Amino acid sequence: MNQTLRNSFKLGPDGRGRFGTFGGRFVAETLMPLILEVERAYEAAKTDVAFQTEWRRLLAHYVGRPSPLWFAERLTAHLRQAAPAGKGARVYFKREELNHTGAHKINAVLGQILLARKMGKTRIIAETGAGQHGVATATACALFDLPCTVFMGATDVERQKPNVFRMKLLGAEVVPVTSGAATLKDAMNEALRHWVANVADTYYCIGTVAGPHPYPTMVRDFQCVIGDELREQILAAEGRLPDALVCAVGGGSSAMGLFHPFLDDAGVAMYGVEAAGRGLDTEEHAASISRGAPGVLHGNRTYLLQDSQGQINEAHSISAGLDYPGIGPEHSWLHEQGRVTYVGATDNEALEAFQLCSKLEGIIPALESAHGLAHVLKLAPEMPEDGIIVLNLSGRGDKDIFTVAHHLGVSL
Amino acid sequence: MNRPGQTSRIAERFASLKASGRGALLTYLQAYDPDPATSLAILRGLPGAGADVIEIGVAFTDPMADGPAIQLAAQRALKSGATLSRTLALVRDFRAEEQATPIVLMGYYNPILSYGIDRFCIDAASSGVDGLIIVDVPPEEADEIEPQAKANGLDLIRLVAPTTDDARLPGVLAATSGFVYYVSITGITGTKSATRESLAAEIPRIRRHTDLPIAIGFGIRTPAQAAEAASIADGAVVGTALVDVLKDSLDEQGRAKPDTVRRVLDAVRALADAVRGNA
């Protein structure tokens, strides 16, 4: 039997913006011409030396890149204590939480804002869940003197107050969205609705590797700076590539940025950690791949949490940034290809990892990143001592201290 | 159901209205809003009240192109048990008594994907549906449903927007059948209205590329606006304004009151009178 050999996992998407059957451009006609315009502008920007130079300059001097690679020595020792003899991999953190604005989001935001300027757009809109993408967008808009409107679920406005205040300080308008469960999905609906009504002058700065093509590809490409840096850093530190990469996935932009440069390195295992909420077998989680099915929402075909009638279910996670019923289409494809393993971490596991990281490493991680860490806590003790595991520490946890205090029964 | 090659109910209806010298009134309400019995009663009353083409909204949790009124209608419909298969059953109940008025389902792609595209097209056609408007399936993505729709005699009605430029227009129109749905504003349903001037400029632009009837939708609220749109194009779609009348007739718990059906049909009658030049 003839078999087509796959020689790369990095060739996607195809000309229609598809990764296998996932992705695409499922938007109303009103938006379609604009989506095509964004695609043309992005294709041009990819080979525009001035554009790339300006973006790199901002990453170096405004964001503070490269972000460090940190050997988490105390955490490694801690995990070895409970591991069988000879087990307990060396744990590294890729420290995206040290970026300006406190998360990886700024990498893709700066790229997109430069693109919006190139396209002659004069207003920026964004959706946000935890507020990290909203803060990053508001920051870039302040820097470039662009009016910025951020759509945020009313529930998230309530649980991410520090970030709401930050966005306002940066001069952005924050619009609370009350439809649905008033979280990230609803914020994205509202941002798309607003965009349809303001196509002429407005650029929609999407925060993750989802939405209609070219967004999943464009955001991934900008975030690949994470994985590209890591490759150099780990080779310098260890002389070889890591055995495993771990990252939390909501929409999955930090994970795509970490994974993509390593997709063709067969020896590098990859784990995307979905929010398992109160448990994968409860009704309350945000595990689109583990418990969802393929469908179409927000402009792309991907795994979604949905009922038997194709209605979208509400997601649940302690982490506002993971509280989304879908995932980027490239993740859906990588799941079906078997290249990346998608697992879950519950609210409680994330809370424990959050506290452990704070005490052992002096790093308060974002609740999103704590989901990734929770899986590292399971995985590292099963790997040999000379194994190397890298966690994408995608964001810092300052914004989460109120949520965590509430769950620990502490009143601030 | 229409067999391929046969003249569709939609084409027939527009042709006969054109012959009689007027445009069509197309009405939009969501199936199961606010409950199945009221929804069926309204549906059965629509042809008598003057609806020439009936659009039935299929409820979806995340209606990206819709404004607050239709978002809330979808929530009411879902709460009262709306599903795609029940919407088809509603059409069958309607068709048991009425054969002439075309029915177009308007909604989003995911419920159709979940139902199964092949099975959906077969069941929709055999239930008496004549056309489909799938808001989030632009021509670029339509190849996965177009052959099945065609094979079952279902018209696939495309949206054309003010942003659809001249380079793009022929391709969009080439793929449409039944009629062209002109989204008259850049925006979501029920938020603003197009000016007479913009319609008078846009409709001839589309006509240069197609012989199909053109219906104008999004932002048509009053009988006067409907009459104007139906005269500039070949039809006027009224949705949000009717959904608002329905909503205003409900009690505090969102339940239908005894006059809900009458109030909605009265509003349709007023629109129809205007479109027919009797206002």
Total domains in the fold of chain B: 1
Give the domain range for residue B199.
Answer: 9-272
Question: Strands A269-277 and A244-249, how do they pair?
Answer: parallel
Q: Indicate whether B5 pLDDT > 80.
A: no
Q: Is B117 on the interface with A (CB under 8 A)?
A: no
Q: Is residue B277 part of a domain?
A: no
B3 assigned to some structural domain:
no
The string of pLDDT tens digits covering residues B152-179 is: 999 999 999 999 999 999 999 998 999 9
Task: Indicate the pLDDT class of residue A73, thresholds 50, 70 and 90.
Answer: very high
Q: Which chain A residues contact residue B65 at CB under 8 A?
A: 28, 30, 193, 196
Residue A158, both tokens: 């309530």
Rounded to two decimals, the ipTM of the complex is 0.95
**The pLDDT value given to residue A3:** 54
B8-59 tens-digit pLDDT: 999 999 999 999 999 999 999 999 999 999 999 999 999 999 999 999 999 9
The per-residue pLDDT for B11 is: 96
Active-site residues of B, by number, are 55, 66
**Per-residue pLDDT at B278:** 79
- pLDDT, position A101: 96
- Indicate yes or no: CB of B61 within 8 angstroms of CB of A311: yes
Chains A–B, number of C-beta pairs less than 8 Å apart: 121
**For residue B57, what is the domain's CATH number?**
3.20.20.70
Higher pLDDT: B3 or B119? It is: B119
The pLDDT value recorded for residue A1 is 44
A296:B109 CB<8 A = yes
**Is the peptide bond prior to A66 cis by the omega test (within 30 degrees of 0)?**
yes
Contact call for A26 and B67, based on CB within 8 A: no
Rounded CA separation A64/B57 (Å): 51
CATH class of A65-102+224-407: alpha beta
Does residue B84 have a pLDDT over 70? yes
B53 located within any domain: yes
Secondary structure string (H, E, C) spanning A45-96: HHCCHHHHHHHHHHHHHHHCCCCCEEECHHHHHHHHHHCCCCECCEEEEEEH
A299: closest chain B residue by CA:
B136
Using the Cβ of B115 and the Cβ atoms of chain A, whether some distance falls under 8 Å is answered with yes
Q: Which fold has domain A18-61+104-219?
A: Rossmann fold (3.40.50)
Residue type, A186: D
Does A33 sit within 8 Å of B165, measured CB to CB?
yes
Residue B83 has pLDDT above 70, yes or no: yes
Question: Nearest-CA distance from B18 to chain A in Å?
Answer: 27
Q: How far is CA B106 from the centre of its chain?
A: 6
pLDDT greater than 60 at residue B3: no
Sole residue written with tokens 């009350």: A178
Domain boundaries, chain A: 18-61+104-219, 65-102+224-407
Q: What is the pLDDT of residue A266?
A: 96
Of B60, B158, B186, the CB nearest to A199: B186
The confidence score (pLDDT) of residue B1 equals 47
> What pLDDT, on the 0 to 100 scale, is given for residue B175?
85
Residue B43 · residue B88 · CB < 8 Å: no
Kindly state whether residue B2 falls inside one of the protein's structural domains: no
The model's pLDDT over A20-65, given as tens digits with 9 standing for 90+, comes to 999 999 999 999 999 999 999 999 999 999 999 999 999 999 999 9
Is residue B61, in this structure, part of any structural domain at all? yes
3-state secondary structure of B69: helix
- Please report the pLDDT score of residue B279 as a whole number: 60
- Tell me the percentage of chain A whose pLDDT exceeds 90: 92
pLDDT digits (tens, 9 = 90+) for A290-338: 999 999 999 999 999 999 999 999 999 999 889 899 999 999 999 999 9
Residue range A149-205, pLDDT digits in tens: 999 999 899 888 889 999 999 999 999 999 877 889 999 999 999 999 999 999 999
Q: Is B93 among the domain residues?
A: yes
- Cβ B199 vs Cβ B233: under 8 Å: yes
Q: What is the mean pLDDT of residues A349-367?
A: 98
Q: Using DSSP bridges, classify how beta strands B155-156 and B159-160 pair: parallel, antiparallel or unpaired.
A: unpaired
Give tens-digit pLDDT for B185-244.
Answer: 888 888 888 998 889 999 999 999 999 999 999 999 999 999 999 999 999 999 999 999
Residues in chain B with CB shorter than 8 Å from the CB of A33 are 163-165, 168
